Amino acid sequence: MNRLWQKFYGRGLVEPLDDMEQPAWNPDLLDWLAEDFADHDYDIKHLIEVMLTARAYQLPATPAREKTEMAFVFRGPQVRRLSAEQFRDAVGALTGIWYPNPATKFLHADGSTNHFTTTRAALVAADTLQIALGRPNREQVMTSRASAATTLEALELTNGAGLAEVFQKGAEKAISAGAKPEGVVAQLYQKALGRKPTRAEAQLATSLVGQPVQKTGVEDLLWGLTMMPEFQLIY
């Protein structure tokens, strides 16, 4: 229960996460959630529903604070980074470039196997990009992941061959015959950030993709969008 709370809210009720000998910042909430979890036959789906439909989860996100502070006061879920799998899936949704096949086959009730139109990152073996972003080796039991960015991650995001290849293929898909730069920019902003570009952003991005639209310019725009905190952070 404490691990799921940390995943959804950015900080556990007890910190460090697996040191349950430490006091919770809200013991009554910890006890109630644990008892409710047990009362519902340890149903993980029920526990997730309780956490995600709570008024506390609907509060505006707050900046992450030092976990060592003694008097923690909950003000809302903390801003947190996308996991390695979430980031790659977000890039897939933006570019239309997904992994080709799952790492294993899944048998359905009708006896058929995979019918995936897209293959999520969690269904494939970790590649260089996911490892750099913190996806652990599944042969090791990991209860949490480090939230701080690393030098390896920065290098992979700025100069990694795997991500560059995805952007190259994504740029090809984004450019259609007679595509106008304004349309390409608006479409990519909508996919990446769920909004239209501001006037300043539209002017900069339009000049970047070129007239007529250049594949290398679209690649640069895709890279720029995915490096924005607005894309990489969960608010």
pLDDT digits (tens, 9 = 90+) for 188-218: 999 999 999 999 999 999 999 998 999 999 9
Say which amino acid occupies 150. T
Same domain, yes or no, for 47 and 95?
Answer: no
Whether residue 219 has pLDDT greater than 80: yes
- One domain for residues 194 and 154: yes
Domain boundary residue, one of 32, 55, 78 = 78
Q: How far apart are CA 85 and CA 131, in angstroms?
A: 10
pLDDT of residue 233: 93
Given 78, 113, 129, the domain boundary residue is: 78
Looking at the structure of the chain, the number of domains it has is: 2
In a shared domain, residues 145 and 212? yes
Question: pLDDT (tens digit, 9 = 90+) per residue, 164-196?
Answer: 999 999 999 998 767 899 999 999 999 999 999
Same domain, 55 and 9: yes
**Same domain for 119 and 58:** no
CB-based burial of residue 227 (10 Å sphere; 0-12 exposed, 13-18 middle, 19+ buried)?
exposed
Q: Which domain-ending residue is among 18, 51, 78? A: 78
Supply the range of the domain harboring residue 219.
84-234
Please indicate, yes or no, whether residues 129 and 207 belong to a single structural domain of this protein. Answer: yes
**What SS3 class is residue 180?**
coil
Residues 65, 114 within the same domain = no
* 7-41: pLDDT as tens digits: 999 999 998 888 999 999 999 999 999 999 999 99
Are 67 and 93 members of one domain?
no
Within this chain, do residues 152 and 65 fall inside the same structural domain, yes or no? no
Burial of 4 (0-12, 13-18, 19+ CB in 10 A): middle
Q: Does residue 14 sit in the same domain as residue 30? A: yes
- Span 52-75, mean pLDDT? 84
Task: Please give the Cα distance from 140 to 173 (Å, whole number).
Answer: 38
Least confident of 42-46, 53-57, 151-155, 178-182: 178-182
Same domain, 119 and 150: yes
- 229 & 134 share domain: yes
- pTM here? 0.84
Count of helix runs (H) and strand runs (E) in the chain: 12, 2
